[in-house]
Structure 1
């Protein structure tokens, strides 16, 4: 098993609003990793993403807890994180309007799934293909689904950064969940849109398949910055070592 991650402010931004989680609780047989991207243009986005990850980290590290219905429990923890972010913003005028995306992968007793809010992404990569597991909660994603624009048009659409679902911006939000089955040779990548905006699927696949994961995480960041680096970029890579 190998789990690596890194984050970079990029070439334009002054503050890194991304946070990431990498956690293994061997006692409870839990592996959890993910990315939260504080909403660009909103106040205190970096606080929202960090608060979200701190709450999840605390939940997964409770030593005396029996994790029996984790999928539903995690939804409850995310709802709690949403309330904590909202409360913080309401109590601190300078933080009003903050929010974050969240894309999180969990393995518990050999069962894997992804929970997703916003436009950070989860991919499954092997020698044959790169497959996007999550669907962006964004305006252009909705437009593609409704047939208004093509996927190619979405890549350059002026409103491609408008997201339609986030954590901490309002009381009502929704959580997508995806089952995740891995076979030998599969690598999981979770990233903020700072990577997916600037690095093509083909480039991601080539870098991940042809380098050790420790090297690949840096090469992905370098490629995003080389191709513009207009946003913070965060990557987490997981190889379950499945035989």
Structure 2
């Protein structure tokens, strides 16, 4: 399977609160996870690490997860992660209020189940199209969905990064969990907002399609974002759907 994960601190942060990872379970099924932490005293890094590692370790221990089971597995595991982070934040003053975005994808040979909380995104990319599979849980994302802001206005809005949902900041969360067909699609991309704050969807599609392999494509995406200043941490997981068989 042709897949890569890259993260970069960016130029204006003193540490990296992003965490991205992928894993195969005992029956060679694939889970991709990307998180972007938040909170003082480096607590965002703690939250994103807990969230990502918890999902990865739970999935690694599983056997075959059928397509019918994927939605419930994601819902239960993300709520378990939320409880872990919330309880820890309540017991440690330095970590109080910490949280993280979370985007996870279980990939099958003909479809993908995607779950998200926050503004870490999942995209499906083909030669002629890029489709954002997730909805941004942000103040600006709400305004866009209600027709009050255009895409261009949203990109420049001073409150574009204010989250309306995150993992670990409240006792209960309700992740979006959606199913998409992978038929006629070439790539799946998970990325934090450090990338999408700097690059347009069309730029992401163009660079991904023009590169010879996913690692090269991911490096080029990161490099372009860095060339534009990259004020935030930025992270990518990129999967080439054409490169191998999935269970």
Task: Give, in whole Å, the separation in 1 of the partners of 2:108 and 2:220.
Answer: 30
Spell out the pairing of 1:177-196 with structure 2 (5 A cutoff).
Answer: 177-196=177-196
Residue matched to 1:235: 236
Task: Give, in whole Å, the separation in 1 of the partners of 2:208 and 2:89.
Answer: 38
Task: State the shift of 1:109 in Å.
Answer: 7.1
Deviates more, 1:8-17 or 1:99-108: 99-108
Residue matched to 2:100: 100
Spell out the pairing of 1:8-87 with structure 2 (5 A cutoff).
Answer: 8-25=8-25, 27-39=26-38, 44-62=43-61, 65=63, 67-68=65-66, 69-87=69-87
Task: State the shift of 1:97 in Å.
Answer: 1.0
Task: Give, in whole Å, the separation in 2 of the partners of 1:218 and 1:54.
Answer: 24
Residue matched to 1:226: 227
Task: Give the conservation status (yes or no) of the 8 Å contact 1:43–1:97.
Answer: no
Unpaired runs of 5+ in structure 2? none
Unpaired runs of 5+ in structure 1? none
Q: Deviations over 1:82-101 (max 9, x none)?
A: 01001111111100111000
Task: Give the conservation status (yes or no) of the 8 Å contact 1:138–1:165.
Answer: yes
> Scaled by the length of structure 2, what TM-score is found?
0.91
Residue matched to 1:166: 166
Task: Give the conservation status (yes or no) of the 8 Å contact 1:30–1:60.
Answer: no
* 139 and 41 in structure 1: CA distance in 2 versus 1, 3 angstrom threshold: farther
Spell out the pairing of 1:181-220 with structure 2 (5 A cutoff).
Answer: 181-211=181-211, 212-220=213-221
> Scaled by the length of structure 1, what TM-score is found?
0.93
Deviates more, 1:201-210 or 1:47-56: 201-210
Deviates more, 1:89-98 or 1:106-115: 106-115
Task: Give the conservation status (yes or no) of the 8 Å contact 2:36–2:102.
Answer: yes
* 121 and 42 in structure 1: CA distance in 2 versus 1, 3 angstrom threshold: farther
Task: State the shift of 1:165 in Å.
Answer: 0.5
How large is the Cα RMSD of the aligned pairs?
1.8
Task: State the shift of 1:130 in Å.
Answer: 1.1
Task: Give, in whole Å, the separation in 1 of the partners of 2:229 and 2:41.
Answer: 22
